[in-house]
Amino acid sequence: QVQLVESGGGLVQAGSSLRLSCAVSGRTLSSVGMAWFRQAPGKERVPGKEREFVAAHGWTGDTNYADSVRGRFTISRDNAKSTVYLQMTSLKPEDTATYYCAATKDWGIASVTSNNYFFWGQGTQVTVSS
């Protein structure tokens, strides 16, 4: 059974940095695509906008980023540690959300579509104060 466990969230001031981690078990990390999505407060009530794509890392090493985070966030993985990271810099209040780690089935690319991810973590809260 695949399990994803996020950590590293917290309350920070605008302009700060945070690194989120996602520990993966039950799957060989090197063979799956991984991504981070986020859900801002109140967004869960808007159909189709429940979870916003943030960044993805395909099994071949391809990456993809949302325009809103490109240049500020970096997704990476350590297959030996079976962990995926999201390094976030220059944080803004609009980055406030619950951040979710997600995994594809085998040989997944860096997809921006949540429907392509079959395994999800429980989320970690990131709050950025102005």
Higher pLDDT, 42 or 1: 1
Q: Which of 7, 18, 24 is nearest to 108 (CA)?
A: 24
- By DSSP bridging, strand 10-13 and strand 124-129 are parallel
| pLDDT for position 46 | 58
Per-residue pLDDT for 96 more than 70? yes
Using DSSP, state whether 35 is helix, strand or coil. Answer: strand
Q: Which of 45-49, 64-68, 106-110 has the lowest mean pLDDT?
A: 45-49
Q: How much is the pLDDT for 102?
A: 96
pLDDT exceeds 90 at position 1: no
